[in-house]
């Protein structure tokens, strides 16, 4: 069967198709805890190849297309038992760039993009912690966020327009439209016009319900973003494609807005023996408007110390210089052991003196609430903390060989004001299970990443995943939070969407999927029609 698909697809696209065992095995996994072996991997060379793949899928009606680029997805969103469409191999170019926007292809690595934006003194600020590994297309597909999201917002805010091949095999451009432009689209007697008419009607009929069920958190990557389409009197259908994980069409080009980063920064580091005062600390720091406000726990710090040589390579600094930077932590550990939680708040601006005043004021505001504080003198000192925070997941994933990372409660978010009630209840739930885990996240947003290490060959350990997920998400939903702020739904969370939003909103999601993809050829089983049993069957074993 794979040989037949490979030959058939090779006949319709120029970029190449693979079906050998090594390739299929490599594409059967990503950064999630799932394994699905595809039938073939297609490497479209350009938009014409993508169109040919969609046309073929429509004709055959027994294959589907799942886009993949960097392979860093933690939800299993880029895994399939049908055809993987890898846009990273060929569709990875910067088409055009200047000091305020860039036109790029989806397979472009963010690290390569950042090198070019830095030359112009600009930035796409919604990069995730995996910025050295991810692609810009993956950032759009998941509606990614990261350390600067607190100040600058998520990827959705920076997508000026995008191009995508839809289910009819044609490429369309999606951008923000005025009411007059929208009416012109709706008058078109074409596939595109039909989509605009139907989505516009859906929003009009269900406006109250959508407003009522819009997640009341600062960021959200679940479901389809119906609440983002109509804003400030304009209509942007592209916002449905942002965060859709390739379930509505295949993105072929993105135009990003870019920002000029502030030139000066200082970091306030806070060491906590417990999380008891977290609800007081967070507003005390946020009052002084940090650009970023992050956290990681004692287990993350232990891993960083254990794999110190590898971190040293990441930080690209001399060992003596780095050793001097760790003196505050060493003193703290010697006098009272490891801190339970480390908070890092970075303050940025155009006036260095003003920044120093703000960071000192923030330090003064939390001094009685934390064990110890430190203010960095320069960016090099801050880099140590950023490296540990950004590498928290990779430290687990790549360095601990005896067990596997199991990201399944890895991205929930609640309003920070609920943390004093929420965190003790969460800890009580986690203590019911004998598992090692790290906690890192965007504490300023109330967004936490909990990553357990588990032996997935052990059936008892595997059974923990659905049970613990249910308990944690029930708690999150009780506080009107979201089960995913950044990482999206994929295989791991899609089957909880109905529980999170309710039956009525879920039916709207089903309608959106049917409008865009009536033959269900784009990444089926994610977002809509997901199965808890199917996800459990495809957990990695060992």
> Is it the case that residue 128 has pLDDT exceeding 90?
yes
CB 172 within 8 A of CB 163: yes
CB 100 within 8 A of CB 80: no
Q: Mean pLDDT for the chain? A: 92
- Side-chain half-sphere exposure of 51, counting CA atoms within 13 A: 9
Average pLDDT over residues 406-426: 92
Cα–Cα dist 183/477, whole Å: 38
Helices (H), 367-399: 379-390, 392-399
Cα–Cα dist 402/96, whole Å: 45
Quote the pTM value: 0.93
Residues 6+ apart with CB under 8 A from 190: none
- The pair of three-digit structure tokens given for residue 327, joined into one six-digit string: 């003196």
Which domains does the chain possess?
Answer: 2-86 (3.30.43.10), 94-257 (3.30.465.10), 264-397 (3.30.70.2190)
Confidence of residue 302 (pLDDT cuts 50, 70, 90): confident
Is residue 115 classed as helix, strand or coil in its secondary structure?
A: helix
Percent with pLDDT over 90 in the chain = 78
| 130/136: higher pLDDT | 136
CB 86 within 8 A of CB 245: no
The CA angle 67-215-225, to the nearest 5 degrees, is 35
DSSP letter string, 78-114: T--SSEEEE-TTT---EEEE-SSEEEE-TT-BHHHHH
- Side-chain half-sphere exposure of 77, counting CA atoms within 13 A: 32
State residue 317's pLDDT score: 53
Confidence of residue 490 (pLDDT cuts 50, 70, 90): very high
Average pLDDT over residues 299-303: 80
Average pLDDT over residues 258-275: 94
How many CB atoms sit inside 10 A of residue 4's CB? 11
pLDDT by residue (tens digit) across 529-538?
999 999 999 9
Average pLDDT over residues 374-389: 83
The CA angle 439-441-447, to the nearest 5 degrees, is 110
State residue 417's pLDDT score: 87
Is residue 124 classed as helix, strand or coil in its secondary structure?
A: coil
CB 35 within 8 A of CB 78: no
CB 197 within 8 A of CB 186: yes
State residue 38's pLDDT score: 98
> Helices 298-306 and 392-399 meet at what angle, rounded to 10?
50
Tell me whether residue 356 is exposed, middle or buried, using C-beta atoms within 10 angstroms of its C-beta: 0 to 12, 13 to 18, 19 or more. Answer: middle
pLDDT by residue (tens digit) across 28-79?
999 999 999 999 999 999 999 999 999 999 999 899 999 999 999 999 999 9
> Is it the case that residue 311 has pLDDT exceeding 70?
no
How many CB atoms sit inside 10 A of residue 312's CB? 15
Confidence of residue 305 (pLDDT cuts 50, 70, 90): confident
State residue 167's pLDDT score: 98
Residues 6+ apart with CB under 8 A from 495: 530, 531, 532, 535
State residue 392's pLDDT score: 65
State residue 325's pLDDT score: 61
> Is it the case that residue 1 has pLDDT exceeding 50?
no
pLDDT by residue (tens digit) across 99-125?
999 999 999 999 999 999 999 999 999
Tell me whether residue 163 is exposed, middle or buried, using C-beta atoms within 10 angstroms of its C-beta: 0 to 12, 13 to 18, 19 or more. Answer: buried
Residues 6+ apart with CB under 8 A from 383: 315, 317
Is residue 265 classed as helix, strand or coil in its secondary structure?
A: strand
Of 322-331, 452-461, 490-499, give the range with the top mean pLDDT: 490-499
CB 268 within 8 A of CB 291: no
pLDDT by residue (tens digit) across 239-251?
999 999 999 999 9
> Is it the case that residue 260 has pLDDT exceeding 80?
yes
């Amino acid at each position: 069967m794979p040989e037949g698909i490979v030959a058939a697809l090779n006949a319709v696209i120029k970029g190449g198709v693979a079906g050998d065992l090594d390739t299929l095995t490599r594409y059967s996994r990503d950064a999630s805890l799932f394994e699905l072996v595809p039938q073939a991997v297609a490497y479209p060379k350009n938009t014409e190849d993508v169109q040919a793949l969609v046309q073929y899928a429509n004709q055959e009606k027994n294959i589907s297309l799942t886009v993949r680029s960097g392979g860093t997805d933690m939800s299993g969103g880029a895994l399939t038992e049908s055809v993987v469409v890898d846009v990273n191999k060929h569709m990875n170019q910067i088409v055009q760039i200047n000091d305020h926007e860039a036109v790029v292809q989806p397979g472009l690595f963010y690290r390569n993009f950042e090198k070019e934006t830095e030359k112009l003194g600009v930035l796409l600020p919604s990069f995730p912690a995996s910025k050295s590994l991810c692609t810009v297309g993956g950032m759009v597909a998941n509606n990614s966020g990261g350390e600067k999201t607190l100040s600058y917002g998520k990827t959705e805010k920076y997508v000026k327009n995008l191009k995508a091949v839809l289910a009819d095999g044609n490429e369309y451009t999606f951008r923000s439209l005025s009411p007059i432009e929208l009416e012109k689209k709706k008058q078109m007697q074409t596939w595109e016009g039909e989509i605009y008419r139907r989505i516009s009607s859906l929003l009009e009929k269900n406006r109250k319900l959508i407003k009522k069920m819009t997640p009341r958190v600062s960021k959200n990557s679940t479901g389809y973003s119906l609440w983002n389409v109509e804003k400030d009197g304009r209509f942007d259908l592209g916002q449905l494609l942002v965060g859709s994980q390739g379930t509505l069409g295949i993105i072929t080009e993105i135009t990003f807005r870019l920002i000029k980063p502030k030139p000066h920064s200082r970091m306030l580091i806070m060491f906590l023996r417990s999380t008891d005062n977290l609800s007081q600390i967070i507003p005390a720091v946020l009052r002084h408007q940090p650009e970023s406000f992050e956290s990681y726990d004692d287990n993350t710090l232990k891993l960083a110390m254990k794999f110190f040589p590898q971190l040293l390579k990441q930080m690209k600094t001399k060992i003596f210089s780095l050793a001097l930077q760790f003196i505050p932590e060493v003193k703290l550990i010697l006098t009272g052991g490891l801190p339970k939680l480390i908070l890092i708040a970075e303050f940025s601006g155009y006036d260095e003196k003003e920044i120093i005043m703000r960071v000192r004021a923030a330090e003064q505001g939390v001094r009685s609430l934390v064990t110890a504080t430190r203010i960095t003198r320069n960016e090099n000192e801050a880099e140590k903390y950023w490296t540990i925070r950004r590498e928290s997941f990779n430290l687990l994933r790549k360095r601990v060989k005896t067990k596997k990372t199991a990201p399944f409660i890895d991205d929930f978010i609640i309003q920070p004001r609920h943390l004093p009630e929420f965190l003790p209840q969460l800890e009580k739930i986690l203590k019911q299970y004998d598992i090692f885990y790290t906690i890192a996240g965007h504490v300023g947003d109330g967004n936490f990443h909990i990553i357990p290490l588990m032996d997935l060959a052990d059936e008892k350990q595997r059974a923990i995943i659905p049970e613990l997920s249910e308990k944690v998400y029930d708690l999150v939903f009780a506080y009107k939070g979201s089960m995913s702020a950044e990482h999206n739904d994929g295989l791991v969370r899609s089957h909880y969407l109905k529980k999170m939003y309710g039956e009525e909103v879920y039916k709207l999601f089903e309608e959106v999927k049917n409008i865009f993809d009536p033959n269900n050829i784009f990444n089926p089983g994610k977002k809509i029609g997901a199965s808890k049993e199917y996800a459990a069957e495809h957990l990695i074993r060992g």
